[in-house]
Every structure is written in structure tokens, then in C-alpha cells.
Amino acid sequence: MPEIPAKSTMAALFVAGLLGLGACRESGGEGEYFEIAGKLFVFNYRVATATYLVNLKPLKPVGEGETAVATFEDPAGGEPIVVRKKIWPKLEKTTIESPPLRCVVKDRPYQVSIDIEGPDGKIMQTIKTTMASSEDQSLLPDRPLVVGPLYTPNPELAGRPSGKLDVTNEAGCPDGV
């Protein structure tokens, strides 16, 4: 008849098994300091803008002087859009938002690259991804619906409840938004 191991041996085997499972967990890899914790296109109908928005979550303690440099593909076909954002060590996430965009096309993947720079300016990590919008920018009005701090209706859109003008934001877009 086989011998049953003592309780202490069973406990040791259990702990070893847990450690083995922990070793299989994806830790983000050697040299990775951040991961993408969310990415989306933000469409603000009221002010007629669309922007890229990316959240970075630290995987390791953040040092003083680190910076995220995001390079976004320009949907209008121009030079890439570069945004520099200081990373604050005590924040749980860093949010990077682009300036307003034109010509965003539904389901088209746009290239995004984020370099994490140390205080000396050297690149510590590069994150590459794509972003695709669930909507075309054509759903936005051509001008902000409101202006000023009191949300005054935009006089340019008087008599145009759809917010569309004869000369639209889509003019000159490469993919015919």
C-alpha cells in the first residue's frame, strides 16, 4: 500500500505549486515599465472634436523625471502628431490625449507608438499599438454647437440644427469620410 505523505510535506507541495503558478503569470516582461490600460477615440459632439485618448498604467515604481512621448498617426494624412506628457510618480495612471483630429474613419486602424523616456532622455520602453474608432468623424457637427463659457449657441450654425454647413470638416480627407 502506498505511503501517504505527512501534512507538512503536503503543505510544502501546495506552496511549491502556488509558486509555480505565480511564475506562469504574465508579469509584463523584463524591461517593461508601463502597459496600456485603455485606449479610445473621444468624440465630443458639443464642441465638434475627436481625439485619441490612451491611459498608461505603471508596472513598476515610477521614477522622477520620466516622460511619455506618444506619436499618433494623423487621420488627415499629415505628419504624425506628437504629444509629450510628464509622468507623475504618485499617480495610478497617465492619460495622454491628442489635440483635435480631422478625418477619423470608422474601423480603420491607426498606428500609435509611445516611448517612455527616463530623466536623461533615453528611451526606457516603446509601446506600439493600433487604435480604431467605432464611428466616423462625419457624425460630428462641422462647427462647435456652443461657444463661450455660458454655452451660447454658435451663431454660425443658426438655422442648421444638424450642425452641418455647406463647407464641411470632411473636405480634403484622404479616405472620403
Domain architecture of the chain: domains with CATH = 34-157 (2.60.40.10)
pLDDT over 80 (residue 21): no
Mean pLDDT of the chain: 83
DSSP letter, residue 133: B
* Arithmetic mean of pLDDT, 152-161: 88
Measured in whole angstroms, how far is the alpha carbon of residue 28 from the centre of its chain? 18
Percent of the chain topping pLDDT 70: 78
**What does each C-alpha distance from 60 to 51, 84, 117, 123 come to in angstroms?**
28, 20, 14, 16
Supply the pTM of this predicted model: 0.77
Under 8 Å between Cβ of 125 and 34: yes
pLDDT over 50 (residue 9): no
Each residue's pLDDT tens digit, 106-152: 999 999 999 999 999 999 999 999 999 999 998 899 889 999 988 89
